[in-house]
Homo-oligomer: A and B are copies of this chain.
């Protein structure tokens, strides 16, 4: 296969705030020939996630920083085009840490081996990175394991138009909670209320977003499904009820300051956890591979019943991945952000 050329992004420098041109280099390299026990797959879709930005930095994360010079880490769904493995044949799909590249060698000796998906695919490939992939499973686990959400309680979801937030909000509705979202535009908010059934949604770019959030949560907040951090989270903490649960899923407002000497401004209202005897817990989907089948069954069930809808923002071409990632931090996308690589 040496006639094939792999385009890939290699990490050259760690970002200070957004991903500037010097951070990633788009490199053309020959695709390596595969050997026994290996297969070669072509990336179809690449998932862009807030954590991509963390991995570029030297911040202490759940995975080591991407070493300078390595192919950028990322989760993709890829189609096998050549195989020297008995268990994989061309046309099969694999998913996992395939990286920001057009071709990937499938090798079980890798630190994070790719997973072979059933054939035919149970859903369109993008959905397997979205509501039926790590995105949806994250939302499910956060609510199932941490939120202890009861019917009639109020759950707030930040970044509610985002990939994880929009699924979490709908799971909350399916469980009988009052769900209030926060999103970055009036259009997103209207969409979440009208199409996804949220009880209310506040545009956090509005001047009076705090008053709007107060009005939308007249009985306080029992569960915070937190994807944003920063001032939004602080205001939510000011309104939590006794015994509230904070599902700490992400803090996207903080990530672009990794690498900046000043770091994020910080959360000013953590002491409210004492005042309200509340619990905040962080979690990570990668810890719970054994529960993916349970999660996927639940999510597929919601999809089938029409209780789970999802948005996708699909950007064409690997070369647009850095800009698309930057745009995510300003809230340009809605729902799952994907790169269609091939």
Which residues of A pack against B, CB within 8 Å?
A: 60-62, 229, 234, 238, 248-251, 254-255, 263-268, 270-284, 287
| A276 CA to B283 CA, complexed, in Å | 8
| A248 CA to B281 CA, complexed, in Å | 13
Chain B neighbourhood of A238, CB < 8 A: 60
Chain B neighbourhood of A267, CB < 8 A: 266-268, 270
A-B interface, 7 closest residue pairs, ranked by CB to CB distance from nearest: A266-B266, A273-B282, A274-B282, A266-B268, A279-B281, A280-B280, A251-B271
Chain B neighbourhood of A249, CB < 8 A: 274
| A283 CA to B274 CA, complexed, in Å | 5
| A250 CA to B273 CA, complexed, in Å | 10
A60, A234, A278 — which one has the most chain B CB atoms within 10 A of its CB? A60
| A248 CA to B269 CA, complexed, in Å | 13
Copies in the complex: 2
Min CB distance, A117 to chain B, in Å?
A: 27
Let me know if B275 and A62 touch, CB within 8 A: yes
Min CB distance, A220 to chain B, in Å?
A: 11
Let me know if B278 and A282 touch, CB within 8 A: yes
Q: Which residue of B lies closest to A281 (CB)?
A: B279
Residue among B265, B272, B284 making CB contact with A274, cutoff 8 Å:
B284
Let me know if B274 and A248 touch, CB within 8 A: yes
| Sample (21) of A-B pairs whose CB atoms are under 8 Å apart | A60-B238, A60-B272, A62-B274, A229-B271, A234-B266, A248-B270, A248-B271, A248-B273, A249-B274, A251-B274, A265-B268, A266-B267, A266-B268, A270-B280, A271-B282, A273-B280, A277-B282, A277-B284, A277-B287, A279-B281, A280-B280
Min CB distance, A154 to chain B, in Å?
A: 17
Q: Which residue of B lies closest to A255 (CB)?
A: B271
**Apart from the given pairs A248-B274, A271-B282, 13 other A-B contacts in the complex at a CB distance below 8 Å:** A60-B238, A62-B274, A248-B270, A248-B273, A250-B274, A265-B268, A267-B267, A267-B270, A270-B270, A270-B280, A277-B287, A278-B282, A280-B280
Chain B neighbourhood of A271, CB < 8 A: 229, 248, 251, 254-255, 264, 282
Q: Which residue of B lies closest to A258 (CB)?
A: B271
| A254 CA to B283 CA, complexed, in Å | 27
Q: Which residue of B lies closest to A251 (CB)?
A: B271
Min CB distance, A64 to chain B, in Å?
A: 11
Residue among B61, B234, B263, B279 making CB contact with A280, cutoff 8 Å:
B279
Let me know if B275 and A60 touch, CB within 8 A: yes
Chain B neighbourhood of A62, CB < 8 A: 274-277
Chain B neighbourhood of A61, CB < 8 A: 275
